[in-house]
């Protein structure tokens, strides 16, 4: 890997977009530079070229900046994100947005398994399809998927919202707690303790807001069904032993 002066490059007071080519600098140097951005910095726009499926791109960013990644990424892109807006102009490997706290991540292509896993806040938008276990153990994150999601999505989801414009695979919402699931298409099967629930006006309002934030204007909230916990597994009951 060629050496670079990314960390020591002079800062331009009229900074516009800082372009980082991963053919010329290491991923570690990129992430170190992103981690050093202070609040109030004028380095608010970054562009990453030639990611070529690299893992952990823009992990742990904690600043109100925008990062445009021009290509597909590997594991854990944008993990632990706080405050920043990350856009992947391609597809993402497993764990995109894992444990993100705030900010937003947009994947223009597809996402592999456990997208948004354990996410505690922010908005994750996947414009293609998401694979299995999308939103597993989500804890407050909002996830919007334009396409389909795979099996066991929202497994043990605790809070937050999963919005699926396409179809959902087997065992949706298995062992779900208090997260809300909105699906426009078909659901192959529901997991343990997950049931269809009434779409009340407050849910229409939540869904309308999420669709708008995701830039989706061609569908209506009324076209979705809501799924959530039947709350039969909250306390052990011998009659439900097979479902635990």
For 135-187, the pLDDT digits (tens) are 999 999 999 999 999 999 999 999 999 999 999 999 999 999 999 999 999 99
| pLDDT value for 10 | 41
Residue 9 binned pLDDT confidence (cut-offs 50, 70, 90): very low
For 86-114, the pLDDT digits (tens) are 999 999 999 999 999 999 999 999 999 99
Return mean pLDDT, the chain: 92
Please, what is the end-to-end C-alpha distance for the chain in angstroms? 50
Task: Give the pTM.
Answer: 0.91
* Two structure tokens written together for 181: 């699931």
| pLDDT value for 239 | 61
Pair 124, 143: CB distance under 8 Å: yes
Integer Cα distance of 182 and 196 in angstroms: 10
According to CATH, the topology of domain 53-243 is Pectate Lyase C-like (2.160.20)
């Amino acid at each position: 890997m060629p050496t670079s002066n990314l960390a020591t490059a002079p800062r331009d007071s009229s900074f516009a977009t800082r372009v980082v080519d991963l053919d010329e600098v290491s991923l570690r140097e990129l992430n170190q530079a992103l981690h050093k951005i202070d609040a109030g910095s004028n380095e608010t726009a970054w562009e990453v070229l030639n990611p070529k499926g690299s893992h952990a791109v823009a992990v742990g960013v904690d600043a109100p900046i925008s990062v445009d990644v021009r290509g597909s990424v590997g594991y854990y892109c944008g993990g632990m994100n706080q405050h920043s807006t990350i856009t992947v102009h391609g597809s993402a490997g497993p764990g995109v947005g894992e444990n993100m706290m705030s900010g937003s991540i947009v994947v223009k292509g597809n996402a592999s398994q456990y997208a948004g896993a354990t996410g505690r806040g922010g908005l994750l938008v996947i414009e293609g399809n998401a694979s299995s276990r999308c939103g597993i153990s989500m804890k407050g994150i909002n996830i919007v998927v334009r396409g389909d999601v795979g099996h066991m999505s929202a497994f043990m989801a605790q809070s937050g919202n999963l919005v699926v414009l396409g179809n959902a695979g087997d065992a949706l919402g298995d062992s779900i707690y208090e997260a809300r699931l909105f699906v426009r298409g078909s659901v192959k099967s529901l997991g343990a303790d997950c049931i269809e629930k009434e779409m009340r006006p407050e849910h229409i309002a939540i869904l309308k807001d999420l669709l708008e934030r995701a830039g989706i204007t061609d569908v209506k909230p009324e076209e979705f069904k809501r799924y959530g916990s039947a709350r039969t597994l909250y306390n052990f009951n011998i009659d439900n032993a097979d479902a635990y």
